[in-house]
């Protein structure tokens, strides 16, 4: 079973595809304007059976929009995304260990060099899987 994680936002959204064995197949931060096109592409590429999304910023509006633009009916489950950004920052450094002098900076003081909404999407799927 494949899950699509979706971290909704006003300007950008995080997306991730994770298999039920927790194998990560895709993750990316995209512009909100590109969600429709990317959703169609991901639904063609992977047999997505569940969409997991955060329940905070703009979530209600995005849920309504997603139900309209999904290329086929896919159940949408909202999960609590509180503290996910802090957790995603730590996960970023696990996935992409610091190099050079950055290694000397304490992890709590490091700032990822790019948006981490896609890593939040991964964490949302993991939170969902922990609940079921």
Report the alpha-carbon distance of residue 93 to residue 130 in Å, rounded.
22
Looking at the DSSP bridge assignments, the partners of residue 28 are 15
Kindly tell me the burial class for residue 58, based on how many C-beta atoms sit within 10 Å of its own C-beta (0-12, 13-18, 19 or more): middle
Nearest to 77 by CA among 117, 124, 111, 44: 124
Q: What is the pLDDT of residue 72?
A: 86
Please give the chain's pLDDT, 132 residues, in tens: 999 999 999 999 999 999 999 999 999 999 999 999 999 999 999 999 999 999 987 889 999 999 999 988 999 999 999 999 899 999 999 999 998 888 888 888 888 999 999 999 999 999 999 998
Give me the pLDDT at residue 107, please. Answer: 80
So where are the chain's domains? 2-131
Residue 49: the pLDDT is 96
Q: Measured between alpha carbons, how far is residue 122 from residues 14, 36, 100 in Å?
A: 9, 19, 27
The pTM score is: 0.93
The token pair that represents 68 in the structure block: 């309209």
Q: What is the pLDDT of residue 66?
A: 94
Class of domain 2-131: alpha beta
Tokens of 90: 């730590």
C-alpha span between 2 and 46 (Å, rounded)? 7
């Amino acid at each position: 079973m494949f899950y699509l994680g979706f971290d909704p936002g006003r300007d950008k959204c995080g997306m991730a595809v994770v298999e039920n064995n927790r194998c990560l197949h895709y993750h990316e931060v995209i512009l909100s304007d590109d969600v429709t096109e990317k959703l169609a592409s991901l639904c063609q590429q992977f047999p997505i059976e569940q969409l997991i999304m955060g329940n905070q910023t703009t979530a209600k509006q995005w849920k309504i929009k997603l139900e309209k633009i999904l290329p086929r009916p896919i159940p949408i489950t909202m999960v609590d995304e509180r503290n996910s950004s802090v957790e995603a920052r730590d996960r970023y450094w696990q996935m992409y260990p610091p190099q050079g002098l950055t290694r000397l900076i304490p992890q709590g003081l490091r700032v990822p060099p790019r948006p981490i909404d896609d890593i939040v999407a991964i964490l949302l799927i993991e939170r969902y899987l922990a609940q079921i």
